[in-house]
Amino acid sequence: MFRIPPAISTMSLGDLKRFIKTGEGTFLEFKRTISSPEKIAREVCAFANTKGGTLLIGVDDNRTLIGVDSYYEEGYQLIEALTVLCDPPLDYKIELLEMGDREIVIVKVEEAEKKPVYVKHNGKSEVYIRDKDKSVRASKERAALLRSQNRDRGITFEFGENEQRLFRYLNEYQKITVDEYARLINRSKYKSSRILIDLVSLGVLSLFSKNDQEYFTHSNKPF
């Protein structure tokens, strides 16, 4: 059984209403209730893997304040999500705002110092990130890019024929996917992905997503 830590809000009801008006986004997510620890874990891990954020439990998608019956009765799934299903453990703070006989649970999650944070479920470990107002499963490239941030030493890289082909391609077409690059240099997707991720880590390329497809480009602006 998990211990439910005490939670007192530093936010007034008026402050909360103004906060909610901004709507869901990269740093804010609404949940009507604590439906399952796995769903909550995905949200908080996505915040930790991005720039941090706030999860409001007891708020509908249309920004209506609904509240939960009792944080101390329903909070076990929340604590399981925060302390068991997230690896490594998160840096978080829980606040509680009373609203009549119901309560709004405010979960503030800091950006993780060591990334990625994984969600453990059914013997699997998955990485989630924030994409605008959604928490989505990270691609292999996104997860690899998060892992690359933990490297103690700088990346050593030699610009050979494979890289020259890449830059010629980008000069003509502006963007490239992993599959396209693998065909271009006649290498495996794994090898091609590693080259592209290293170039992103060096600041030479940028990784963007559009219409559920990820691509790499020279520019800091998506096409």
pLDDT exceeds 80 at position 1: no
* Rg (alpha carbons) of the chain, rounded to whole number: 21
223 to 153, 176, 195, 208, 218: CA distances (angstroms): 32, 11, 21, 9, 11
Model confidence pLDDT, tens digit, residues 143-170: 999 998 776 555 666 789 999 999 999 9
What is the rounded average pLDDT of the residues 132-146?
93
Domain shared by 188 and 87, yes or no: no
Domain shared by 114 and 186, yes or no: no
**Distance (Å, whole) CA 22 – CA 45:** 22
Among 154, 155, 156, 140, smallest CA distance to 192 is for 140
Residue 223 falls inside a structural domain: no
Domain shared by 204 and 101, yes or no: no
Are residues 42 and 128 in contact, defined by beta-carbon separation less than 8 angstroms?
yes
Residue 202 falls inside a structural domain: yes
- Which of these three, 103, 137, 171, is where a domain ends? 137
Residue 201 falls inside a structural domain: yes
Are residues 20 and 56 in contact, defined by beta-carbon separation less than 8 angstroms?
yes
**Which pTM value belongs to this model?**
0.85
Q: How many domains does the chain have?
A: 2
Residue 128 falls inside a structural domain: yes
The parent domain of residue 158 ranges over 143-217
**Distance (Å, whole) CA 84 – CA 125:** 12
What are the DSSP calls for 173-187, one per residue? HSEE-HHHHHHHHT-
Domain shared by 44 and 102, yes or no: yes
DSSP 193: H
pLDDT at 223: 66
- Which of these three, 84, 109, 137, is where a domain ends? 137
Domain shared by 117 and 62, yes or no: yes
**Distance (Å, whole) CA 206 – CA 195:** 13
CATH of the domain at 158: 1.10.10.10
106 to 91, 102, 144, 173, 180: CA distances (angstroms): 14, 13, 31, 46, 44
pLDDT at 57: 94
Residue 25 forms beta bridges with which residues? 28
**What residue type is 32 in one-letter code?**
R
- Which of these three, 113, 137, 161, is where a domain ends? 137
Which distant-in-sequence residues (6+ apart) come within 8 Å of 194 by Cβ? 144
DSSP run (H or E) holding 49: helix 37-49
**Distance (Å, whole) CA 96 – CA 77:** 16
Among 116, 106, 108, smallest CA distance to 137 is for 116
Domain shared by 27 and 122, yes or no: yes
Model confidence pLDDT, tens digit, residues 46-98: 999 999 999 999 999 999 999 998 887 778 889 899 989 999 989 999 988 98
DSSP 154: P
**Distance (Å, whole) CA 9 – CA 78:** 17
Residue 208 forms beta bridges with which residues? 215
Domain shared by 17 and 120, yes or no: yes
Residue 118 falls inside a structural domain: yes
